[in-house]
Amino acid sequence: MAMFSDNANRFITCYNQIDQALRAQSDLGKSMSYTEAIRKSARTNAFVKKYEDVLIDYGRLRNAIVHSYNEDMIIAEPHQDVVEDYERLAKTICTPPLAIDTVCNKNMKTIPHDMTVSEAIETIYKTGNSNLPVYKDGMLIGIANSRRLIKEMGKKIYEKKDIDDFIHNTKIEDAINNFGEDPYYTIVNKNVTLDKILNLFSENRKLSLIVITETGSLLEQPIGCVAIADIMDVNKTLDKY
């Protein structure tokens, strides 16, 4: 039988790479079809979810190439731009870029737990960072989030409390203790990939900041951070990878 064209071979290679990667990443059974693997992975992988329909369409094209090919007639031949797009998707799914190497802020300012609310707000203004990791005795205890600080200040004003006293005499540790229990930040290790970053923000709409440390420990200083404001850059980087 005649050999497949170069484009067809490249296309089929992408199919196999994506199929194998998704099964390994999501621990999917061998009996599950490629389309089912895409559907299943899309539930937990925001990048796959974004390109779910495209990936399934490419899977159908692969089947047309493999199962309907004969020596006399080629009924499906992928165009060069389609092959290149599939290769881009395969590269991102199989070997996604690390956050630490791309969009993360490597110069994130941290503040001590006994800094006043006034000093924290001034630091937020000076650095341009809306989220500042707060450390006490070498441990991350929370994030000074500008939106939540404003909410606390508004609450004091509404309750007719002395706002000046709150700002100048309240430690940032005490202020963030009033932010509530909802997880508005998380910590991950240096190997976190951009697709995982995207997943974390997709899974938790209240997430404001992802702190990256060497091993993902609260006892380590951040080596990078990704804020919700960076989500557009995350998507752009993945699309261009």
**Residue 70 confidence (pLDDT):** 57
| Residue 107: per-residue pLDDT | 87
Rounded to two decimals, the pTM is 0.83
Burial class (CB in 10 A: 0-12, 13-18, 19+), 150: exposed
> Which distant-in-sequence residues (6+ apart) come within 8 Å of 169 by Cβ?
116
What pLDDT, on a 0 to 100 scale, did the predictor assign at position 65?
84
Q: Supply the pLDDT for residue 25.
A: 86
Residue 185's φ and ψ, nearest 5 degrees, are -150, 160
- CA distance linking residue 172 with residue 119, whole number of Å: 9
Domain coordinates of the chain in residue numbers?
Answer: 6-93, 101-240
pLDDT of residue 1: 41
CATH number of the domain at 101-240, please? 3.10.580.10
pLDDT for residue 3: 58
- pLDDT, block means (10 residues), the chain with 241 residues: 72 94 85 92 92 96 76 69 96 94 92 97 94 96 95 94 95 92 92 94 93 97 95 92 85
pLDDT of residue 192: 96
